[in-house]
Structure formats: C-alpha cells, structure tokens
Structure 1
Amino acid sequence: MIKLMSVNFDDCIPNWRTQLETIEYNVLVVVREGKVRYELNGEEMIAEKDDVLFIPQSTRRSGTNWNGIPHQKHTILFTMDRHEPTGIPFLDEGKCLKFNLSHIQYAYHRCERLYEEMRGDKSYRTMICLGIMQELIGMLARELEKTELAPSKRKYADTIKSYLLEHYRDPIEIESLAKLIHRSPNYVTALFKEVHGHSPIRYMHQLRVLEACSLLLHSDMTIAHIAQYLGYYDTSYFYRIFKKYTGLSPSDYVLQGERPDISKLFT
C-alpha cells in the first residue's frame, strides 16, 4: 500500500542541496525549470526541465543545484509495503529511472493540486491525495510501456513543440509547421499526436487558454482584450474555446471563489 509522506515545491532555492544518505522512502521528482544534479548510488544523474525521476527506497542519494543555478521542481515522498508487489513494474523493480512524459503539463497541474491538498484541511483530503498520487504513478507506468520512439521522431516533435511554445499567440497552420521539418501536414499531425497525445492545434489552444486563466485572475485586462492578445479576434469564438477546455465561461472562471482546477485542460 502506498503512503504519502510529503509533497514539496522547490522554487529556485539558492544553495539548495540534500546531504548524502540512504533514503528510507521513495521519491518522485518532476523538474519544471532549470537543472538539478543528483548522485544516486555513486552515479551522477542530471535532471532538467520536463524530466521525471523515480528514486527508490534504499538509494544512497545526495542532490544539489546544477552549477549553482537554482531550479524549480516538485518532489513527492512516499513509502510502500516492500513485501507486497504493487503490480507497477517500475515501483516493484526498485531502480532509479529518468524519463519524459507526453502529458508533462498535465503532470505539473496534478503535482500542484497534490501540493495544495496536502496543505489543506478539507474533508476527504487523504483520499483525494492518494487518488492524485495513484493517477501520477499510473501515468508514469503507462509511459514506460510505450514503444521507444525513433530519435528523429522525437526531434521533429520537439521542434514543433518549441515553435508552438514561442508562437502560440500567432496564427498557426499545420502547413507552416510541416515546413519546419520538411514533412507533410498529415505527418506532422500524426507525429505530434503520437508523441504528445494530441494534435498541434489542440496544444496551441491549451497554451492560449492556460495563459488566459492567468490573465483573468492576475491582470486588469478585459475579456475582449485577452481574447485579442491571445490571437482570438472573434471574442465569441474565444468564449467557446475557453469553455470547451475549462468547462466554464471566462466570466464564471473569474467568479469562482477558489482557483478552479484547470487540470482538465491537459486530459
């Protein structure tokens, strides 16, 4: 049985380090920004943005900022009954692992929700936290079962993703993405979906809506201004897209007393 110990968010801590010790718990590390250096059983492992690490119980571990530069990461500490197999291969094998998730943004938001719930006092907190933790573990296990992608496919998908991250507010057409990697539009759509689980256009809308959520809560911009800023020149279309991904209209999103759970953006 999995038992959560603590959930932390290390937000650019200067001189961050953990002493060399044999840990008596398991650790999931999800890196959001920068790089972190670990020594795991005498071997160096560098984890950077979008990397996920699993560090099993009984690992001799130390950690520090990479080259002294602060980083951002989520860490989840948990224990298991070592005498009962979980049925999750990477947990039962007990080996140090580093890998990427197709739905890394969704994983970020589940970590954020877990962090908030662990520090709250609402009813059923323990059950909700365990459910989120089990979901994260299931996502990791499923990812590890996938057939290894050819390096060229990963490179093409990363090129497209980087372009979308930089230009998501601009008009995006599949044809223009295809020219980036000198492939056909159909290939681009199929490749991106294979690597990231959804189409490039859906990813663009996710990025825009995520930005809209932040602007609605933390700026004095009007909804119409936000729509135009994000590349939606028809405000009614922005309303439809926003509600499609969040389940709420922009106005209802602002009116909610607590910050709504926007993890559904990445499902």
Structure 2
Amino acid sequence: MLDTAAIIISQGKKIAYAYAEGVNDNMTQSHFHDFFELYYLLDGERLHMIEGETYHFTANDFVLFPPHIMHYSYGEKDMPFKRIVLYFTPDLITDEDVRQKLLEKVTIFTTQSLKASSILPLLQDLTRELDSPGKYHDAFISNQLNRLLLSILRLEFNAAKSIPKTRSAQAVDYIHTHYMDDISVNQLAEMLYISPYHLCHEFKNATGKTIIQYLNTTRILHAQRLMLETDYNITRISREVGFSNLTHFNRIFKKVTGVNPSEKKKQYKTNKW
C-alpha cells in the first residue's frame, strides 16, 4: 500500500492524512517515523505489532504513535478493513506540556473507552479542512489538531492488553530487543524449541521476509534512529546496531533505504523540525 501521507510529509508539509481500505494488504516489517501518527480503524479488524507486542484492533479503536516507535499493521486472511492515518510534526502541538505528554509513550484506545466516539468527528473535521482549505486555513488546522489531541488526552480508558505471541512473533520480539547482538537462525530455533527449517518457514509466511532479511532491516531502522537522536559517526552507529563490518553495513543500509548512510545522515540534519 502506497503511503501517500508520508510522501506529503516528506515534501515539507507538517500535516497530512490518508484514507485506505483493503483486504490482505499487510506490512511485513516494522518501521518508524520522525513525526506523530494517529491510526484510526474505521471498520474491520487489524493486528498491530508495537515495539514487539501484538494488539488486536476492531472498529473505532485507534492508536497514537510518538516519533521513533517501531510498529507495523497486518490483518488475518481475507479480513477487509478501512482506516485513516493522520501524520503531523511535533511542533504543531502548541502546548509544551501536552507535547511532552504525547511524546512519552504509545497510547492505545479501544472501544472500551466510552467517550472514544467523540474523537472521530474531530478527526473528520480536520481531514475535510485538509481536503478543502477555507479561510484562515492554517489557524483552523492548528486549532482543530490541538483540540483533537486534548480530547484524546482527556479520554478515560483501560490499558490495552497484548495478545499471546506465536513463535514467529516471539522471534520478531527477540530480534527487536537483541538486534545489536550476534543472532543466528539456529540460536532462535533452539530458544523456541523448533527446528531451524520449520522456524524459517513459519517466519517467512508470517513476515514475508527471511530471518536474516528481517534482522538486517531492523538494524538499519535502529541505525536511522541513532542518526536522528545522536551525533555518533557512521562507524560507531554500525557497531551499535550489530554490524562488525563497516562495508557490509554500508551495503545493507543502501539496499534497505536506497541511499548510503552519509547521505541519509545529511537528510536528517536538513529535515529536523
């Protein structure tokens, strides 16, 4: 699925949204943004893996991701869904206390939240203005976005519980927490009491990637986070995320991102909010 909202943000806009619906349209790899994401499920069911934990979403559940949180969504076979995603940069949040609160952690809202139904009309008012700008457009967007976020923060809700993990999910979880270490297929298989062959088969079916492909992509995602959050040089970043060979790191980085590490680092410096 083409992420049109992310493309708009990458072109310099501070806020964008995208509506989508589909069947069997699944991500296969965790990713993160350097902006906020509000994901609202309008209809159907979806599974979200967030920082190694999996959550089951049904209609009118939504989640607010701060920047740099690893996540991806997928659905069961032949399960249709409709959703809205809203992306916005941190500087659009006008109140410093609100901004810091929203930056603290992922917040998941389920239909157990009695007042959650009040959020969708606010979100739809915002998306309509983005589609058809009216007078004082920028002021309206700022006001509506901050009203939406304050309304979310004032909701009363129960903490969402993650669902039991499959072996593939356990392997993914281990990779996300030990990506900086030496990890082998045999090691994962022994840990999960399964043969390497069957683990590789299950993992590829679940994620669309081999274990090594998934490990390398996860390492590169974390390398990008270090570029955003630290002043480490490329050599140190490569070591921090588990690469013992700088040439290998450079090759995998370009394969995953399309550019070499030094180019990506320059891009992040240019686009800091």
**TM-score grouping bracket, smaller chain normalisation:** 0.3 to 0.5
TM (normalized to structure 2)? 0.46
TM-score by length of 1: 0.46
